[in-house]
Amino acid sequence: MIEVPAQPYSFALDPERTALVVIDMQRDFVEHGGFGAALGNDVTLLQAIIPAVADLIALFRVNAWPILHTRECHLPDLSDCPPAKRLRGRGGLRIGDDGPMGRLLVRGEPGASIIPECAPIDGEMVIDKPGKGMFCNTDCEAMLRARGITHLVFAGVTTEVCVQTSMREANDRGFECLLVTDCTESYFPEYKAAVVSMVIAQGGIVGWATDLGTLKDACK
């Protein structure tokens, strides 16, 4: 076990059973012209964490620990995108509409791809998820169980939506979860702060939180 200093107390990381989960580091969320920008968000806030996320991925690769990447995207006919999700907001572009990087959040379109700095390599798991959580209508759990994974380290965007949803779903399924705070971000900094506080509340009711530097030092 690797004892990682964290909040609310040390996280016991089992290197034989740990995987990194990188949530939705996609062009549609972090680049101008994508879905996030179409909603009126400042994507530069998300771009700021790219070097840290890439560094975290490198840490897992050098240790030959498993990595799972997720992409939020839908089938071209949008049969897996219910109106309750697609028809949110007033005006502007919606999921499936044409944007500068192709149809927004549609599988196979340029905008749905993971940014080059964080792109998966051969042998790493990739999940296309139609929902906010990584387990919703995917074979994610089966993939992790098959590899004997019990501990998950979380990074990616956005903190209060897909990252938090996935982390809570993982907790409910019995995974031990650690959020790397400087490797996740929101379009609304106050939402990120709120999620971190909720995750570690009540003795770590959802999981633990630490920063990348602390994790790297613990893994030396």
Tokens (6 digits) for 153 = 């380290």
Question: Could you list the active site residues?
Answer: 24, 129, 162
What's the confidence (pLDDT) of residue 89?
73
Query: What CA–CA distance (Å, rounded) separates 113 from 206?
Result: 29
What's the confidence (pLDDT) of residue 88?
81
Tell me the average pLDDT across 2-16: 97
Tell me the average pLDDT across 7-19: 97
Tell me the average pLDDT across 195-199: 98
| Strand 67-72 to 98-99 pairing | unpaired
8 A C-beta contact, residue 184 and residue 159: yes
Question: Tens of pLDDT along 21-75?
Answer: 999 999 999 999 999 999 999 999 999 999 999 999 999 999 999 999 999 999 9
Query: What CA–CA distance (Å, rounded) separates 56 from 117?
Result: 11
Question: Tens of pLDDT along 71-85?
Answer: 999 999 999 999 999
Angle between helices 189-204 and 164-172 (to 10 degrees): 20
What's the confidence (pLDDT) of residue 92?
79
In the sheet that holds 208-210, the strands lie side by side as: 125-129, 67-72, 18-23, 151-157, 176-185, 208-210
Cα 70–chain centre separation? 7
Q: Looking at the whole model, is its pTM more than 0.95?
A: yes
In the three-class reduction of DSSP (H, G, I as helix; E, B as strand; rest coil), residue 17 is classed as coil
What's the confidence (pLDDT) of residue 148?
98
Asked whether the predicted pLDDT for residue 188 surpasses 90, the reply is: yes
What's the confidence (pLDDT) of residue 79?
97
Tell me the average pLDDT across 151-169: 98
Tell me the average pLDDT across 3-13: 98
Query: What CA–CA distance (Å, rounded) separates 99 from 76?
Result: 14
Residue 154's nearest CA partner among 7, 8, 3, 23 is 23
Asked whether the predicted pLDDT for residue 169 surpasses 80, the reply is: yes
Alpha helix stretches (DSSP H) within 31-120: 35-38, 44-47, 50-62, 83-86
Tell me the average pLDDT across 201-220: 97
Question: Tens of pLDDT along 85-140?
Answer: 999 876 678 999 999 999 999 999 999 999 999 999 999 999 999 999 999 999 99
What's the confidence (pLDDT) of residue 168?
98
Residue 127's nearest CA partner among 142, 146, 116 is 142
